[in-house]
Amino acid sequence: MELLSNVMHGFSVAFQWENLGWSFFGVFMGNLIGVLPGMGVLAAISILLPLTYAMTPTAALMMLAGIYYGAQYGGGITCILLNLPGTPSHAVTCLDGNPLAKQGKSGSALFMLVMSSFIGACIGILIMILFSPILVEVAFKFGPAEYFSMMMLGLFAGATLAKGSAIKGVAMVFLGLLLGVVGTDVNTGTIRYAFGVIELSDGVQLVALAMGLFGLADFFANVNRIGKATVVNTGSKRMSVKPEPGDIKKSIAPIARGSAIGSLLGILPGTGATIASFMSYAVEKRVSKTPGRFGNGAIEGVAGPESANNSAAQTSFIPTMSLGIPGDSVMALMLGALIIHGIQPGPQMVTEHADIFWGLIASFWIGNALLVVLNLPLIGMWAKLLRVPYKYLFPSALFFVCVGVYSTNNSLFDVVLVLILGIVGYLFLKLRFSPAPLLLGFVLGPMVEENFRRALLLSRGDMGIFISRPISAAFIYAILALAVWLAYSTVKARRKVRAALQAQTQTQ
């Protein structure tokens, strides 16, 4: 009863006109920023942070939180329509979302994007309310060895993201790992693999990599379209603006699994929504009875990752609010906003600042409901965007990519880097190498290296630390099991091909 009373108190705070107005402003701006390619949520919060100086702490946090999870919704829209991941956590959604759009099912994909995002966020909020103390205890049990083993499992699972050859997937993961360690070594301060290019001292920018490998590469593949040609053939059937028959049934289990994965990974510092979405996609492809559909327009490839990154966006507030430990740079800005207003996050925040804590929790529900109200009526309008002739759509999207990438560091070098990566991504498409495993390797690479070195420092060079700790050992055994399953699946697939060829030869 006390919990219900606290939640109701939070709604009474969140429904105050000032707080409600700033929450709406936050989710609207976040949604808009997410739609614009390359305009990251970190830059948006940094720009709007000075606004919070004259606001109450509750209104300030509600606005900033609205920007954060509003961008999770908006980022998936251009991902589906134009193969441009608005935020890195949506890159994996490109794999199936964009093929669905090209098949004339953009409305169905967008509807599932909105609903899975809302459900995933709601599940994340419920878990945050009911199980915060337990989740915090679980997070405390993760040390460098556990993080390393979990990241390695993610990398190994990433090889299964690729269509076709698993060997190509592994190769792309390793290439991503190499790109991830470009720049300054955090331990020694030396610049690695920059080849004398001073702009690479901070490493390759994630936004530039995602935009180049996905969006620009796709544009290069279709740049020869002329006249009135569009992304979707105008002669095809009318584009749907509601779910296809069976889509909701297919998406129920992926949404549940994605929400669970996102809720767990959201509380772990340094992981967050990006890794949650990749892990969810890998799980869905592995458990599917028809994995060949993934990468060609499987609705589960949209529903699972989108619910994962939105639930992770909610539960990432747990360590920030209850422990004062930000999980990523966005949460660090949230922490800064609290400190600016003289509030010290920690275990006592729930009792000492109940209005702020429970008002923020309630605003998550209100904000996500507002996002559904904002996005559902616009599905038809977004779907019609694909009817715009390619000769107009291509330069317009390219302009927003350049602006978004430039605004990250105010550097023209990043714009040139996107162009180079776009050409490389186009070559990958021609050679049938999937870019998704590369992006995952890039994201996880620095964390794998850092936690590996920390674990060995703690164990004084003893590699047994990865097996002696139970959670780490469980991840290692999962990697071995996945390797066996992958080998079995490969052999089985080859046998089927041979049997089909023999049957065809006997028929002839």
| Res 236: pLDDT | 45
| Res 125: pLDDT | 84
| Res 235: pLDDT | 43
Which of these, 184, 206, 142, lies nearest to 451 by C-alpha position?
Answer: 142
Tell me whether residue 489 is in a domain.
no
Q: Which domain holds residue 184?
A: 1-231+239-468
Tell me whether residue 484 is in a domain.
no
Tell me the C-alpha to C-alpha distance, in Å, between residue 204 and each of 211, 408, 462: 12, 12, 32
| Res 382: pLDDT | 67
Q: What is the three-class DSSP state of 55?
A: coil
Q: Count of domains in the chain? A: 1
Tell me whether residue 45 is in a domain.
yes
| Res 229: pLDDT | 56
| Res 167: pLDDT | 75
| Res 248: pLDDT | 83
Tell me whether residue 25 is in a domain.
yes
First to last CA, the chain: 75
Tell me whether residue 58 is in a domain.
yes
| Res 269: pLDDT | 65
Question: What string of pLDDT tens digits covers the 508 residues of the chain?
Answer: 667 777 787 788 888 888 888 888 888 888 877 777 656 677 677 777 777 777 888 888 888 888 887 777 777 777 787 777 766 677 788 888 888 887 878 778 888 888 888 888 888 888 877 776 676 677 677 788 888 888 888 777 766 655 666 677 788 888 888 888 888 877 777 888 888 788 888 888 777 787 788 778 877 776 665 555 555 544 444 455 567 777 788 888 899 998 888 888 877 766 667 778 888 888 888 788 887 788 788 888 888 888 988 888 888 877 777 766 666 667 777 777 777 777 777 666 666 777 777 788 888 888 888 888 887 777 666 666 666 776 777 777 777 777 777 776 777 888 888 888 888 888 888 888 878 788 778 877 788 888 888 888 888 888 888 888 888 888 888 888 877 877 777 777 677 777 777 777 776 6
Tell me whether residue 40 is in a domain.
yes
Tell me whether residue 374 is in a domain.
yes
Tell me whether residue 501 is in a domain.
no
Q: What is the pTM of this model?
A: 0.76
DSSP readout, 130-185?
A: HHHHHHHHHHHT--HHHHHHHHHHHHHHHGGGSSS-HHHHHHHHHHHHHHHT-EE-
In three state form, how does the secondary structure of 73-140 look?
Answer: HHHHHHHHHHCCCCCHHHHHHHHHHHHHHHCCCHHHHHHHHHHHHHHHHHHHHHHHHHHHHHHHHHHH
